């Protein structure tokens, strides 16, 4: 009898990744990163996007402003491509002048407004409360400028049919249609994060030396890949995503948007995360997370620590495990961000 799971387990073991880290020194890390990052960009389709959109300058406009007591919340839209108006929330702390440290908070498979602390139902209120999902609000209350972007394929970037039917996302269409021109959802979402950084820095709102990214689940995916590809991100805190590709994305049902063609021929997830070194990285995981199993998280983290040790900064890489399931754990984020943003002052 054909056993599909056994087949793919065997297939994954048979592949030798081209960029499996095997170095021991800082120089080894730098040379490995310089070779690996362009290949990852190509796998994501980022190299093609840079070529196709060379010279394009995104424009943004404000739609709404609201006083939220201890901060101001604004709704904006930015054209990250000529045909992609991407909505985002901008949260500013009151009583602080810029440029401020910036935190990008890409969301996962839920609605963009939840990260900005907006609930449209009792279920969303519960989701925010029990899963600590108002991440942009948490960031602004730390004194940071926060951008809660729409993850492309969600919110107003869904297809008209999916909007009408009330589907949460249009990830499958984003994947299969983008593949025709060499793109991936992950690559497009990383592109959007970079364009938001461009905008916030050019506007004088954000301190270019202190830029963090953090999100849960699909937001953790964007956080990890964006920090790996975008070196201006100085602190990364992906939540409930970091694991092994083979032990999660390749063996458990996940949304189509997670898949990057040929990624295991380049490296495992710890290799992708190793592109963030020596920048600070806090991995958040749930002990009972059923789709990113903790035993595979720990395996990947042990390998990742070896990369940070070779880079000479093992203390800049931590694993925080929350006593629950697939959700955000703010205790693994803000003390870490605060410590490393503070190191960038002066």
Q: Which of 3.40.630.30, 3.30.70.3270, 3.40.50.1000, 3.40.50.1820 would CATH assign to domain 23-339?
A: 3.40.50.1820
Q: Tell me the Cα Rg of the chain.
A: 19
pLDDT of residue 297: 98
Give the per-residue pLDDT at 342.
85
Tokens 């908070």, residue located: 105
- State pLDDT tens for residues 300-331: 999 999 999 999 999 999 999 999 999 999 99
CB 103 within 8 A of CB 141: no
Contact criterion met (CB below 8 Å) for 330 and 132 = yes
The 317-322 sheet, strands edge to edge: 60-67, 71-81, 84-93, 145-149, 100-104, 206-216, 235-239, 281-286, 317-322
Q: Which residue has the tokens 């000529």?
A: 82
Contact in structure between 142 and 155 (CB atoms under 8 Å): no
d(CA 293, CA 243): 7
- Cβ partners under 8 Å of residue 268, min gap 6: 17, 20, 244, 245, 246, 300, 303
Burial class (CB in 10 A: 0-12, 13-18, 19+), 175: buried
Q: How far is CA 26 from CA 34, 230, 246, 265, 279, in A?
A: 12, 20, 28, 24, 13
pLDDT in tens, 38-82: 999 999 999 999 999 999 999 999 999 999 999 999 999 999 999
Structure confidence by residue, pLDDT tens digits, 199-208: 999 999 899 9
- Asked if 115 and 136 count as a contact pair (C-beta separation under 8 A), the reply is yes
Q: Residue holding tokens 């490995």?
A: 32
- How confident is the model at residue 345, as a pLDDT? 43
Can you tell me the distance from the alpha carbon of 51 to that of 299, in angstroms, rounded to the nearest whole number?
A: 37
What is Dmax (Cα atoms) for the chain? 67
Residues of the chain with pLDDT under 70: 343-346
In this structure, what DSSP letter does residue 25 have?
S
pTM for this predicted structure: 0.97
Residues constituting the chain: 346
């Amino acid at each position: 009898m054909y056993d599909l799971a056994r087949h793919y387990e065997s297939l994954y073991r048979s592949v030798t990744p081209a960029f499996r880290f095997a170095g021991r020194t800082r120089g080894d890390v730098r040379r490995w990163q310089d070779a690996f990052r362009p290949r990852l960009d190509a796998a994501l389709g980022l190299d093609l996007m840079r070529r196709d959109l060379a010279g394009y300058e995104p424009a943004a406009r404000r739609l709404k402003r609201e006083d939220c007591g201890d901060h101001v919340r604004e709704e904006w839209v930015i054209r990250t491509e000529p045909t992609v108006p991407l909505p985002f929330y901008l949260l500013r702390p009151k009583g602080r002048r810029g440029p401020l440290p910036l935190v990008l908070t890409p969301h996962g498979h839920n609605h963009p407004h939840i990260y900005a602390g907006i609930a449209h139902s009792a279920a969303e209120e519960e989701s925010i409360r029990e899963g600590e999902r108002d991440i942009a609000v948490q960031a602004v209350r730390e004194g940071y400028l926060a951008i809660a972007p729409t993850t492309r394929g969600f919110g107003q970037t869904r297809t008209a049919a999916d909007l009408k039917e009330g589907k949460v996302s249009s990830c499958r269409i984003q994947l299969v249609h983008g593949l025709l021109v060499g793109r991936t959802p992950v690559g497009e979402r990383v592109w959007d994060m970079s364009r938001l950084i461009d905008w916030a820095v050019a506007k004088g709102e954000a301190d270019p030396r202190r830029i963090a990214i953090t999100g849960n689940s699909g937001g953790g995916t964007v956080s990890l890949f964006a920090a790996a590809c975008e070196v201006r991100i100085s602190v990364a805190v992906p939540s409930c995503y970091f694991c092994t590709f083979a032990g999660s994305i390749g063996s458990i049902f996940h949304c189509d948007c997670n898949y990057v063609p040929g990624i295991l021929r380049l490296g495992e997830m710890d290799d992708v995360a190793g592109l963030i070194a020596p920048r600070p990285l806090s991995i958040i995981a749930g002990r009972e997370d059923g789709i990113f199993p903790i035993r595979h998280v720990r395996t990947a983290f042990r390998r990742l620590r070896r990369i940070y040790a070779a880079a000479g900064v093992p203390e800049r890489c931590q694993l925080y495990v929350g006593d629950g399931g697939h959700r955000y754990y703010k205790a693994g984020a803000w003390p870490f961000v605060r410590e490393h943003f503070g190191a960038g002052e002066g």
